[in-house]
Amino acid sequence: MSPIQQLISNFQELVAQVPEIVQPLIILLAGAVPFVDGEGAAIIGIIGGVHPVVAAVAAAAGNFLCVLLVVAVTSRARTAVIDRRPTPVGASVGMGARAGVGAQALPGMAPAKPESKGRERFNRWLVRFGVPGASILGPLAIPSQITSAILIGGGTPRRWVLLWQAVSIALWTTVGAVSVWAALTYVVEVS
């Protein structure tokens, strides 16, 4: 038995000590962790010996529930900030900041700090491919939770973000689950 096969076998024995009903719940919680996301949690679950479909569904559900929470909180925070923003002189009160009128920086505000490389890459994708492309390509640069917060903070409607995040989570979790299942089955030859 190769060292990789031995390592996977030991990990599967460790996971087998956890009751089967709890295993998907642990994968669900792992899917909610940023940078692990659905694909990482599904991979961990499948390597641990959980059925690939169960691991993928639990991981995707955990990731989407966390994205749903982030979208709800970010949307409320954005609404609170916009509702409290002073209306620029000459702008009508009814259309003020919500419509984007007077979105310039207010006098006396400190300049924003420079953006990270991941955020710059995400912004390029958002401009080039729109919300669907940014949602699907976003996990290559930053976690889906951060992608959702950026999109909502920028004014994208919640339903649109949730729809494309669900598509992205399903796509990347499926890619991760199928890849690790195929690697374990055909390359490492561990069941």
pLDDT at 108: 55
CA angle 156, 144, 177 (to 5 degrees): 135
Q: How far apart are CA 142 and CA 69, in angstroms?
A: 17
pLDDT at 183: 93
Q: Six-digit token pair at 186?
A: 């055909």
Q: How far apart are CA 132 and CA 178, in angstroms?
A: 23
Q: Please list, in sequence order, all residues whose beta carbon lies within 8 angstroms of the beta carbon of residue 109, skipping any fewer than 6 positions away.
A: none
pLDDT at 128: 85
Q: What are the CA-CA distances from residue 24 to residues 35, 60, 116, 145 (Å)? A: 19, 11, 34, 21
What is the block-wise mean pLDDT of the chain (191 residues), using blocks of 10 residues? 85 90 94 93 93 96 97 94 74 45 49 76 80 89 92 91 96 96 89 64
Q: Six-digit token pair at 104?
A: 């310039």
pLDDT at 10: 87
Rg (CA), the chain: 21
The pTM for the full model equals 0.77
Show the 3-state SS of 109-174: CCCCCCCCHHHHHHHHHHHHHHHHHHHHHHHHCCCHHHHHHHHHHCCCCHHHHHHHHHHHHHHHHH
